[in-house]
Amino acid sequence: MNTLFELYQHLGWTLSLLVIGVFLMAGVVKGVIGLGLPTVAMGLLGMAMLPTQAAALLIIPATVTNVWQLAAGGQLQALIRRLWPMLVLIFLGTGLGTLWLGMGSDQSMSRVLGGVLALYALSGLFLPPLHVAPRHEVWLGPLCGLITGVVTSATGLFVIPAVPYLQALGLDRNQLVQALGLSFTVSTLALAAGLYWRGVLGGGEIGASVLALAPALLGMMLGQWLRQRISAVLFKRVFFVGMGLLGLHLLLG
């Protein structure tokens, strides 16, 4: 049991409380809008620790909440048949990115993380609704998967360009939520494999990530409760503004 607390003891109580608060907040965001847990976690934790440390803490909460998300909806087999080329390239792109780029162990990677956060916020706030014709999915899906994998390997974020692409497929709300969960699950497992290969995902990090699961699940349940009582559109707009400001802070800091 001591190994579960090893990383938190190393971080100190103040930073440990920050981790708990961040995952609680990230879970709330995911519960309300169906995405955002890794974005919030990586963005906020990136101000206090190296991206590799933040990504290691992310693995278990992201995997469990994403599997929870993809399990709902009853259309998993159909989505896998449609999206498998993109999913395969996400995994391969993450592997290639790990070998080629890797997630840096210095503060320069925080600026890269900030740039991706800012780009994601701008796309969420200002990108008009897109539509991908079925005939283009055969090449655009794998391309988006490859780029998403490379970005994942460098920053721990797996939203660009996967999220805009999935939103452009014309899926209904339940299908989109399940497709996002499927994409995020593959990305998280690929990221975990890359971190393990680089030697930054050992027993201590996994144990610390397990402890981060509780606030993430609590936040997600709270977010699902809030979703019935607040405007999800307004909440999403505030989320993107916040991520944009956070991205600029990391980019210029």
The per-residue pLDDT for range 107-162, each reduced to its tens digit, is 667 788 889 999 999 999 998 888 999 999 999 999 999 999 999 998 889 999 99
Tell me what the mean pLDDT of segment 154-183 comes to. 91
Find the length of the chain.
Answer: 253
Range of weakest confidence among 70-74, 147-151, 195-199: 70-74
pLDDT band for position 22 (50/70/90)? very high
Range of weakest confidence among 23-27, 110-114, 181-185, 222-226: 110-114
Q: Rg of the Cα trace of the chain?
A: 17
The pLDDT of residue 173? 81
The pLDDT of residue 26? 94
pLDDT band for position 89 (50/70/90)? very high
pLDDT band for position 9 (50/70/90)? low
Q: CA 224, CA 160: separation in Å to the nearest integer?
A: 24
Q: Where exactly are the structural domains of the chain?
A: 2-252
pLDDT band for position 1 (50/70/90)? very low
Tell me what the mean pLDDT of segment 180-203 comes to. 90
The DSSP code sequence of 146-212 is HHHHHHHHHHS---TTHHHHHHTT---HHHHHHHHHHHHHHHHHHHHHHHHHTT---HHHHHHHHHH
User: Are 184 and 158 spatial neighbours (Cβ–Cβ below 8 Å)?
Assistant: yes
Which has more confidence, 9 or 163? 163
- 2 pLDDT exceeds 50? no
User: Are 196 and 44 spatial neighbours (Cβ–Cβ below 8 Å)?
Assistant: no
3-state secondary structure at position 106: coil
Range of weakest confidence among 8-12, 131-135, 190-194: 8-12
Burial 87-103 (b: 16+ CB within 10 A, else e): bbbbbbbbbbbbeeebb
